[in-house]
Structure 1
Amino acid sequence: MPIRALVVDDSAAMRTFVSSVLESTGDFDVDEVGHGFEAIRLLPRGDYALFVFDVNMPDFSGIELIRAVREQPRYSRTPLVVMTTEGRLGDLERARQAGAQVVITKPFTPAGLLEAVTRARELGGAD
């Protein structure tokens, strides 16, 4: 059975890229949304086993979204990858402190994304 993933990024091109890379493996079934509030609405209805979030979004930052997800017991250890265009150490550390297992800096390759997902799944305790 495919792993259910949620990709959240305000860039449609980036959402499509990430979803395509994940789905191309045959291991993932991906939902994608463009805003943090949309993601929050999906959480109760989804049974997600992986999250991939952008940090910089207009309505609800990726850091806020991580915190909101981690507050829910069912998602407290779900593997979570954060994408950012900013490689500043402070931003990376804030994402990790909020609960992201892995932070990946844009631009990245398909192989880099899959490596980040694998690391997050190992750190998050996924099978």
Structure 2
Amino acid sequence: MSANFFQLDVLLVEPSPVQMKIIRERVTTAGIIHIREAETMQAALEAMQWHRPDVVISALYLPDGDGTALVKAMRATPELQQTAFVLVSSETRPQALDEVRQSGVCGILPKPFSGAQLQRVLTATLDYLADEQAANDDDIDYEALRVLLVDDSPNARRFMRRVLTNLGLSNIVEAGNGREAVSLLEQTMFDLVVTDYNMPEMDGRALVEYVRGQSWQASVPILMVTSESDMGRLAAVEQAGVSGICDKPFEPATIRGLLRGALQHAA
């Protein structure tokens, strides 16, 4: 998809006038012309009710809440559930960012961020917002594929479903954890499993181990989309037989490449 950033309607949420000016300049330089501003969480929600933006670019810490509370409020509002969200923060602690990652965000930008970093996130946002299905450049019939999507976060599943649909996948069944996924795998044949790592009942690693060691669908491709940062845990998942691992949040182009590689390898 071409980078037609000028078509995006953006709401910037930042309490600092200095930071707001810097972010606005960066966003304007990227080619975006439709920009509104809000300094608080309440002001942002009111602005979105008046006119829904395509994407919200928000600081993590706000006077009356934070970016996590803002995106949660958006995901709890039906007309805002599909609005793209980008976080801008100097925070690096996984525990401070995990809830935002699980909410289905298009990207997390550092503070300060470069023009190249912004362009990558905006490109991912355009891919997410695309209404049309992406054109396939290989011989895989994506529309016919049966996909099992596993994540304990409804918001994350909603985000992933939209991304997968935009890639041409439409036959998608959802599970809230690995145990639910096992039950579905015992009853239905799938062509692809897309799963989170950290889940109650049965996590992603246990699910991969079950599929590879006990399921009648032992060869099904498994993609893991996760905010897990422990390299030891991720290495264990790779050893268990996962077909590919992608960070959360992710770029749809990355998922497209992983899908193509996993499905062609399984063919």
TM-score by length of 1: 0.88
User: Are residue 96 (structure 1) and residue 238 (structure 2) matched?
Assistant: yes
Counterpart of 1:38 in structure 2 is 180
Counterpart of 1:58 in structure 2 is 200
The one-letter amino acid paired with 1:121 is L
Counterpart of 2:250 in structure 1 is 108
The one-letter amino acid paired with 2:146 is R
Counterpart of 2:224 in structure 1 is 82
The one-letter amino acid paired with 2:191 is A
Deviation at 1:25, TM superposition (A): 2.9
Can you give the 5+ residue segments of structure 2 that lack an aligned partner in the other structure? 1-142
Deviation at 1:6, TM superposition (A): 0.3
Can you give the 5+ residue segments of structure 1 that lack an aligned partner in the other structure? none
Distance 1:87 1:115, change over 3 A: farther
For the aligned residue pairs, the C-alpha RMSD in angstroms reads: 1.7
Q: How many residues align?
A: 125
After superposition, give the CA deviation of every residue in 1:32-82 in whole Å (9 maximum; x if it has no partner).
111111111111221100001111001111100111111245322211101
Deviation at 1:27, TM superposition (A): 3.6
Residue 216 of structure 2 aligns to a residue whose secondary structure is helix
TM-score by length of 2: 0.44
Which of 147, 151, 154 is 1:9 aligned to?
151
Alpha carbons 1:51, 1:81 under 8 Å: kept: yes
Give aligned-pair identity as a percent. 35
The one-letter amino acid paired with 2:245 is V
Which of 47, 55, 62 is 2:189 aligned to?
47
Separation in 2 of the partners of 1:65 and 1:24?
A: 26
Larger Rg: 2
The one-letter amino acid paired with 2:173 is D
Counterpart of 2:84 in structure 1 is none
Distance 1:73 1:58, change over 3 A: closer
Separation in 2 of the partners of 1:122 and 1:96?
A: 18
Separation in 1 of the partners of 2:188 and 2:238?
A: 23
Alpha carbons 1:2, 1:26 under 8 Å: kept: no
Residue 171 of structure 2 aligns to a residue whose secondary structure is strand
